[in-house]
Chains A and B, each alone.
Chain A
């Protein structure tokens, strides 16, 4: 825990010199650039500018946005895309759970802060050495990404109108490539790899037999089944008693 900064040393320069602020701003800028490709992919997938911006303003969760757009662009039902987006978005609940004690917000402030609970703001906040750094990481990243994400989406959505054939620019591969970049850091061990490969295989095998968009939900059902499967784990002192478990 660092000592409180004396008032005469507080200032913008002092603030931006903090490592947590510089790291957060790096993430913010990368997200803004990434948002341009989201806007372009959404427009290429058949969404108009308003629909693209509704996703970036209200949904504001990159993976979920790409999921919905990807399903719609692939000819799937928008509702299958919505379910995929919701399932992917459910992870933010777990970030919020850990962030809520850290931020200690109530009422309207909590409702506003909840909107910027995303992968990036959580990653830049959780695991910091001090509570102050954790809060700075959350707010700088959350508010910064929200601003540049929406600006980038707008630029991408408007600019994509100039592209006659998005496929000629390889934009249809940018969506799955984004998922590769999101997935890779999560593949930490052999078991996770096996589950990911099984999910991918199941989804591909189901493509000819179910409507577009549903293969992804088949994989989700598989993930829920694997997660809920009862398994014996060594009893840990901090683990709650296993009565009434879903497992």
Chain B
């Protein structure tokens, strides 16, 4: 099932790209469609950050990840480069786990 989901999503993502190169511009020029297109990445990314930071399965769980993501937010605010943001988040999380085992 994992393979099927991977292939369906992958081919779908490619078709989205091809569609943009192929459809007449008028179709996607509607203001509502434009607004949804601009908002979708924002709400999805915000939700992914929140869920992957404070949940585990169906449980809400505060642990060392929160410290790592908080540092990522500060780094992004200070306009750190992409990779530095990732490294700082991972290192912070690892350090907190090392200090507080089980977090």
B6 to chain A, nearest CB (A): 6
Q: How far is the CA of A203 from the CA of B97 in the complex (A)?
A: 26
Within A164-215, which residues are at the interface with B (CB < 8 Å)?
167-184, 186-187, 192, 195-197, 199-204, 207-208, 210-212, 215
Complex CA gap A128/B12 in Å reads: 29
Residue A18, interface by CB 8 Å: no
Interface pair B90/A54, CB less than 8 Å apart: no
Q: B56 near A174 (CB under 8 angstroms)?
A: no
Q: Tell me, in angstroms, the Cα distance from A75 to B22 when the chains sit together.
A: 37
Please classify how large the interface on chain B is, using the bins under 10, 10 to 19, 20 to 34, 35 or more.
35 or more
B38 within 8 A of A: yes
- Please report the C-alpha to C-alpha distance between residue A81 and residue B68 in the assembled complex, in whole angstroms: 23
Q: Is the interface of A mostly helix, strand, loop or mixed?
A: helix
A246 touches B39 (CB 8 A): no
Residues of B within 8 A of A (CB): 1-14, 16-23, 25-26, 28-60, 64-65, 68-69, 72-73, 76-77, 81-83, 85-86, 88-95, 97
- Chain A residues at the B interface, C-beta cutoff of 8 Å: 30, 33-34, 37, 47, 51, 54-55, 58-61, 63-64, 66-68, 70, 72, 74-75, 77-79, 81-97, 99-101, 103, 105, 110-111, 113-115, 117, 167-184, 186-187, 192, 195-197, 199-204, 207-208, 210-212, 215-216, 218-220, 222-224, 226-228, 233, 239-240, 242, 245-247
